[in-house]
Structure 1
Amino acid sequence: MSELAPLPVSTSTPKVRVAYLDNARYWVMLLVVIGHTLTQFVAMDPARAVYVWIYAFHMPFFILISGYTARHYVGDFRQVRRIVSTLVIPYLITETALQLITRHYVGEPDHLMLLSPQWLAWFLAALFIWRLTTPIWRALKYPIATSILISLAVGLIEVPNVLALPKVLGFLPFYVIGLHMSRDRFEWLAQTSVRITSAVFLTVTFIICYVYSRLWETDWLLWKQRYDEAPLRAGPLEGMLQRGELLLLGLAMTFAALSLVPRRRSWTTVLGGRTFYCYLLHGYVILILKFQFDVFDRVEQYGGYAVIGSMIAAVVVANLLMTAIVAKVFRPIFEPRLTWMFRPPEQVTPKTSQSA
């Protein structure tokens, strides 16, 4: 007689909403929506400056928070069920829908490539992979150093875009660092001297982006091409140095932004608890405005006014997509209960099997 090891029913306590983290989610979600909107105007200097500044740290920021909130993942029944309902199902829905929309308007992709995310859903695929590998990063002796080496090395080789692996491995250090963050480290960031320094640092980086961004290749900020691939066209050493600089800059700007996030509960806390729906839905808004109504092409002639107006519109749309009514309507779609798919918790222990 041999018995399979049972899947723990629940070894972790349910999450308790933390005002600071929800506030952080709210502000970074605004950056995400603004950044994706400005992608339509990146050829214009004002938009390019803001775009480069946002893309230098908005995903590192988001990923580090995701790592911190996933630090207790052990693969128990509740956690596995939640991964399927909040990552796998939304990924399939979002990626299928976005690919069908783009194919309807521009004819691409020719065939659905559900395992090769084209846009927003890459982050859901990344969270799925990172979450499943969390126990590994918690067990390694030098997890952060290992993740950095992987990030630097992945740009040297050809990695297929299956579940966005190039970006998953490129951004990996931010997730691993988040896993090893602690409440004390976040509290240290709240010191007045640190917050002042952070505000100055973020201001200086924005000024630098405004002055020099027209000279930079923005594809470095996408973390998905090989170093020697167009348009990067960098040698191995240059590529690793460039990515290393982006790792340091992204981490520094992330900590600076985290130090400025309010600690107290407010209206941003409430909205920040619903960023999931905003992330999944804002892409549809942008694509419809772009392809169906040609909004971005029509307003581009207004230059800086178009950029400012688009940023304001992005903030309004983001806030609307974080409202209670949106969460109520889309929760059954993006967070299904899936009671039909999973066995009751008391039945998760496998039956013993007799070997021949």
Structure 2
Amino acid sequence: MAVLERDYRIDGIKWLLIVLVTFGHVIEPALSNPIANKLYSIIYIFHMPLFVFISGYYANVKDKEKLISKGFMLLETFLVVMIPLCFYYGSIIPLLNPENSGWYLISLITWYIIFLLIINKLVGKIVVQYNGCGGQLLIFSCLLAVFAYMLPLKQFGNLLSFQRSCMFLPFFMMGFLRRVKGLPIIPDVSKCIKLVLAIASLVCFAFCLIYSGRILHVLEFNNANVWHMSNLYNQNIGMLLVLKVLVYIGSIITTFAVLMFVNLPKSICAYGSKTLAYYVIQGMFAHILSTYLQVNFYQALFLCVCILILTTVLLRFVDSKFITNPFSTLLKWKY
């Protein structure tokens, strides 16, 4: 795969997504507020699927050395985020069952391992070259997602973010396959298709507003199996399966809609190159502060703005690598 030039429009979208990630985390104690609840449903239908899609597009899985190096760097970042949470809760459970920001980091490592070990090692050279097997890879990822959703593991389903890694894998695969096929990350489509996509997205957002609630939130989280949800919310399994499919469809539609319609000023896009540092800082402080302070909706808004402003100021004076990988930066390790 050819080396990709930096796309500042994608950087802008990444910065928007990190704002939504921070807001989504600080607002959790205030979900009893109807406005907060509905906004939460809208945010979660697309913001993490789009993050995963972008990660898949820019994953250079053919370069094994870089892939391994990236995996170790992400593992260090994961520990930087989760160790403070372990001290806060006085337990290693956050490390083994990562929630909030930690799950995404460990899932990225998992996706790299899937490509490196399963696809590149076990399947063979035909798949390594990715010639004409995009459909098989996408089907494989979808089957893995179905397997995770149907697997009746209440206690261990989220061990090292297993379920989320499986259930978000199709989005990672879609992004990856667009790149290996030489397609731009932002689809170039006709005005007619854009109009259809815009209308479909509005329908998806309306669905989120109408059916906003904890069931929809958990379906968007991708961290619970259908059996556990059926028992917890006293819902029919068939209905939960239908809702899950609708959430997946809605996530795909809104993901591509945001890609095609969001175009932020370049002054904002510049911050998008440091989204991992933003992710680490909000991961350490957003959930802890909002939970400890028990913020309401408007306090959550204020806290989100404060975290983003302080992080932006900090990153003007501190190298982002020192925040995401402090140990390897200080000790000059090379993975």
State the TM-score, normalized to the length of structure 2: 0.81
| 1:158-204 deviation per Cα after TM superposition (whole angstroms, max 9, x unaligned) | 45233210110111111111111146454534654444444444344
1:1-356 maps to which residues of 2 (within 5 A)? 16-70=5-59, 72-85=60-73, 87-103=74-90, 109=91, 111-112=92-93, 114-135=95-116, 136=119, 139=128, 141=133, 142-159=136-153, 160=156, 161-182=158-179, 184=183, 186-189=185-188, 191-214=190-213, 216-229=215-228, 230-234=231-235, 237-262=238-263, 266-292=266-292, 294=293, 296=295, 300=296, 306-307=297-298, 310-311=300-301, 313-315=303-305, 317-323=307-313, 325=315, 328=318, 331-335=321-325, 336-337=328-329, 341-342=333-334
The amino acid that maps onto 1:224 is N
The change in CA–CA distance for 1:208 and 1:287 in structure 2 (over 3 A counts) is: closer
Q: Answer yes or no: is the 8 Å Cα contact 1:116–1:162 preserved in 2.
A: yes
Report the Cα distance in structure 1 between the residues aligned to 2:203 and 2:306, rounded to whole angstroms. 27
Shift in Å, 1:245 = 1.9
Report the Cα distance in structure 1 between the residues aligned to 2:173 and 2:113, rounded to whole angstroms. 13
Report the Cα distance in structure 1 between the residues aligned to 2:24 and 2:139, rounded to whole angstroms. 29
Number of corresponding residues: 313
**Runs (5+) with no aligned partner, structure 2:** 121-126
The change in CA–CA distance for 1:199 and 1:27 in structure 2 (over 3 A counts) is: farther
Shift in Å, 1:248 = 1.2
Determine helix, strand or coil for the equivalent of 1:118: coil
| 1:299-320 deviation per Cα after TM superposition (whole angstroms, max 9, x unaligned) | x3xxxxx34x633652453354
The change in CA–CA distance for 1:233 and 1:145 in structure 2 (over 3 A counts) is: farther
Greater percentage in helix? 2
Shift in Å, 1:94 = 1.1
Report the Cα distance in structure 2 between the residues aligned to 1:232 and 1:65, rounded to whole angstroms. 33
State the TM-score, normalized to the length of structure 1: 0.76
The change in CA–CA distance for 1:257 and 1:316 in structure 2 (over 3 A counts) is: farther
Q: Answer yes or no: is the 8 Å Cα contact 2:215–2:233 preserved in 1.
A: no
The change in CA–CA distance for 1:25 and 1:332 in structure 2 (over 3 A counts) is: same
**Runs (5+) with no aligned partner, structure 1:** 1-11, 104-108, 301-305, 344-356
Aligned match of 2:123: none
Q: Answer yes or no: is the 8 Å Cα contact 1:37–1:286 preserved in 2.
A: yes
Q: Structure 1 residue runs of 4+, over 6 Å off?
A: none
Name the stretch that deviates more: 180-189 or 151-160: 180-189
RMSD over aligned CA atoms reads: 3.0
Report the Cα distance in structure 2 between the residues aligned to 1:249 and 1:240, rounded to whole angstroms. 14
Aligned match of 1:5: none
Shift in Å, 1:51 = 0.5
Q: Greater CA radius of gyration, 1 or 2?
A: 1
Q: Answer yes or no: is the 8 Å Cα contact 2:82–2:95 preserved in 1.
A: yes
Report the Cα distance in structure 2 between the residues aligned to 1:266 and 1:203, rounded to whole angstroms. 27
